[in-house]
Amino acid sequence: MIKKGFLIGLLLFGIFFGAGNLIFPAELGFRAGKHFVPAMSGFVLSGVGIAIVTLIVGTMVKGGYKRELGIKVGKNFAIGYLTALYLAIGPFFAIPRTASTSFSIGIAPVTGNTRLALFVFSAIYFLLAYLIALNPSKLMDRVGKVLTPIFALLIVILIIVGNLNFHAVGEGEMNESLTALKTGFFDGYNTLDALASVSFCLIATSGIKTFGFSSKKEYMSIMAIVGIVTTILFSSLYIGLGALGNKFSVPNEVLSDKSINIGTYILSMSSYKLFGSFGQAFLGAMTILTCFTTTVGLIVVTSQFFADTFKRFGYRAYVNIFTLTGFAMSNFGLNTIIKISIPVLSILYPVTIVIVLIVILNKFISMSNVGMRFTIILTAVTAFIEVIGDVFNIKMINSFMSMFIGGSLGFVWVNIAVSGIIISLLLKDKIKGESFEI
C-alpha cells in the first residue's frame, strides 16, 4: 500500500511539475529577504496545500467537480466557471507562460531579452506545438515522463549546490511577517495547480485506478499517502528554490529592468555561476523541452473541453484558436502575462477554495442547496469587487472592504464564505452529498 501511494505520488508530481513552478518560489525567496519563513509558509499553503486537497477530493468525487457544481449551483454556473478555469490554465495564462519561461531561461541569455527574439522563438515554438496537438499521441506523454524526472533531478542538484555556495541574504521588500505571509499566499496562486487540479482530477483518477485497489478503505489509505508524498515533494522543491533565491544576489540594473523576470534570472544565472556555460545551456534546453510537452498537453485538453462543451466548432478549430491566442499572449512577455493573470486568479482561487470546502463538508453534513449556491456565487462576486477595488484603487470599495476581518489583506471573501456556510447549515432545504466514490 505504501509503495502504491509513493508511485502514484510520483505520477501526480510528474503531471503537475513544470518550469512555471520554478520561477515564483525563487523570486519570492529573493524578495522576502529576512521574512523568508512566513513568505514561504504562505506560498506552500496556497501553492501546495490547496492544490493537493483539491486534487485528492476531485479523485474521489463521482463525475468530478463539473457534476458537483451542476448539482449544487447549476449547470450554467458549472460551465461558466470551468470555461474561465480552462482559459486560465490554457491560452490566456499557462500556455503563453510556458513559452515565455522557455524563452527567458533558454534563449534570452544568448540572444538578449528582445521582442524580435521572443517573436521568432515563440513562432517556431507554437508552430511545432500546433502540429503535434492536431494529432496528439502518446509520444509527448512518454517524452514528458522521461524529461520530468531528469529536469527535477537537475533542479535538485542546482538547489543543493546553490544553497551551499550562495550566502547573500538581502533586506528584501517585505517590511513585516504578516505582509510576507500574505504575499506568499497570493504568489502561490501563480502556480495554477489548484485550478489545474479541478480539470485534471478525472485524468488523474483514470491513471490512479490502473494501479488496482481491493477496497474503498485501501483506496482512501493510499490517497492519504499520495497526499503526504506530493506535499513533501512540492514543499521541498518550493522551499529549496525559495532558499536559493533568498541567498542569490541580483544587480540593481536587473531589478530596475521591468522586462526581466527575477525568478528566471536567478535560475539561469545561478546555473551559469555554478556550472558554467554548459550548465546554463543544459538548464535552458531542459526547460524548453519540459515546457513544450506541457504546452502541447494544455492545448489538447483545453481544445477537447471546448469541443465537448461548445459543439459549434470542432477540435481542430479550437486548436487553431488556442494556439494563436497562446502565441499572441506569449509575446507580451513573462512579467506582463503574470501581471495580467493576478486579478483573474484572485477571483478564481477563492471560488475554487470555497467549492472544495463545500464539497467536503456536504459529504458529511446536510447543507441547504440554496445556501450552497449563494455561498459560491457571493464568494465570486465579493472576490470580483475586491479585485476591482484593488486594480483601480477605488477608495470607497477599499475602505468598505477594510471594515471586514482580514479586509485590508484581501480576504473579505473568507467572511462571505464562512457566513454562507453557516447559513447553509441553518436553512431547512438541506441535502446531503453523495459519499466519496472510488
Tell me the CATH number at 15.
Answer: 1.20.1740.10
24 pLDDT above the threshold of 90: yes
Q: State the pLDDT confidence band at 311, using cuts at 50, 70 and 90.
A: very high
Is it the case that residue 390 has pLDDT exceeding 70? Answer: yes
Can you give the pLDDT at residue 7? Answer: 75
Residue 381 lies in a domain: no
Give the pLDDT confidence score for residue 221 in this predicted structure.
Answer: 81
Could you tell me where the DSSP H helices lie in 112-215?
Answer: 115-134, 138-165, 177-188, 193-209
Residue-level pLDDT at 275: 94
Q: Is the dihedral of CA 290, 296, 299, 303 positive or negative?
A: negative
Instruction: Count the domains in the chain.
Output: 1
pLDDT at 138 over 70: no
Considering the domain boundaries, does residue 387 fall inside one?
no
Is pLDDT of 438 > 70? no
Give CA torsion, residues 93, 96, 98, 103, to 10 deg: -140
SS3 content of the chain, % helix, strand, coil (to 5): 80, 0, 15
Q: Of 27-41, 193-207, 275-289, 328-342, which range is least confident?
A: 193-207
Identify the pLDDT of residue 4: 74
Residue 237 in domain: yes
Tell me whether residue 421 is in a domain: no
pLDDT for position 339? 93
Higher pLDDT, 203 or 362: 362
Using the predicted structure, report yes or no on whether residue 436 has a pLDDT greater than 70.
no
> Region 21-47: what's the mean pLDDT?
95
Q: How confident is the model at residue 406 (pLDDT cuts 50, 70, 90)?
A: confident
Q: What would the mean pLDDT of 219-223 be, rounded to a whole number?
A: 80
The torsion of the CA quartet 34, 172, 409, 378, rounded to 10 degrees, works out to -110
Stretch 383-393: mean pLDDT, rounded?
92
Using alpha carbons, list the distances in angstroms from residue 266 to 18, 20, 94, 278.
17, 14, 21, 16
In the structure grid, which three cell numbers stand for residue 208, read together?
490512479
Q: How confident is the model at residue 199 (pLDDT cuts 50, 70, 90)?
A: confident
CA 147, 149, 153, 156 torsion-angle sign:
positive
Residue 36 in contact with residue 243, Cβ under 8 Å?
yes
415 falls within a domain:
no
For residue 168, give the 3-state DSSP assignment.
coil
DSSP SS3 for 431: strand
C-alpha cell belonging to residue 373: 449556491
At how many degrees (to 10) do helices 193-209 and 64-72 cross? 120
What type of residue is 392?
F
pLDDT for residue 345: 95
Specify the 3-state DSSP secondary structure of 151.
Answer: helix
Query: Which carries the bigger pLDDT value, residue 203 or residue 101?
Result: 101
Residue at 37: amino acid letter = V
d(CA 102, CA 344): 23
List 367's β-bridge partners, or say none: 431
What is the average pLDDT score of the chain? 89
**Would you state the pLDDT for residue 270?**
95
pLDDT surpasses 90 at 290: no
pLDDT digits (tens, 9 = 90+) for 109-133: 999 889 999 999 999 999 999 999 9
Q: pLDDT per residue over 162-175, tens digit each?
A: 999 998 887 788 88
Element (H, E) at 101: helix 94-102
Strands 430-431 and 367-368, bridge-based pairing: antiparallel
Sign of CA dihedral 301, 9, 268, 277: negative
CA distance 7 to 9: 5
Instruction: Supply the pLDDT for residue 437.
Output: 64
* C-alpha dihedral sign at 402, 407, 410, 413: negative
So what's the pLDDT on residue 45? 96
Report residue 93 as a C-alpha cell. 495564462
pLDDT band for 139, please (50, 70, 90 cuts): low
Q: Comparing C-alpha atoms, which of 2, 12, 3 is closest to residue 233?
A: 12
What DSSP assignment string belongs to 248-316? ----HHHHH-TTS-HHHHHHHHHHHHHHHHHHHHHHHHHHHHHHHHHHHHHHHHHHHHHHHH-TTS-HH
Residue 329 has pLDDT above 70, yes or no: yes
CB atoms within 10 A of CB 332: 16
Residue 419 falls inside a structural domain: no
The per-residue pLDDT for 140 is 60
Mean pLDDT of 50-70: 88
Q: H or E stretch including 59?
A: helix 51-59
Task: Give me the mean pLDDT over the 194-208 stretch.
Answer: 79
Q: Which residues contact 88 (CB under 8 A, 6 or more apart)?
A: 94, 192, 195, 341, 344, 345, 348
Closest C-alpha to 290, from 282, 302, 278: 282
Q: Is residue 319 part of a domain?
A: yes
pLDDT at 50 over 70: yes
pLDDT for the residue numbered 269: 94
pLDDT recorded at residue 435 = 65
Is there a domain that residue 173 lies in?
A: yes
Element (H, E) at 422: helix 412-426
203-217, 314-328, 339-353, range with the lowest pLDDT: 203-217
Q: In the structure grid, which three cell numbers stand for residue 421, read together? A: 456556510
Residue span of the structural domain in which 239 resides: 1-347
Cα-based distances in Å from 170 to 97, 131, 260, 355, 388: 28, 46, 19, 39, 33
| Across 302-329, average pLDDT | 95
pLDDT at 389 over 80: yes
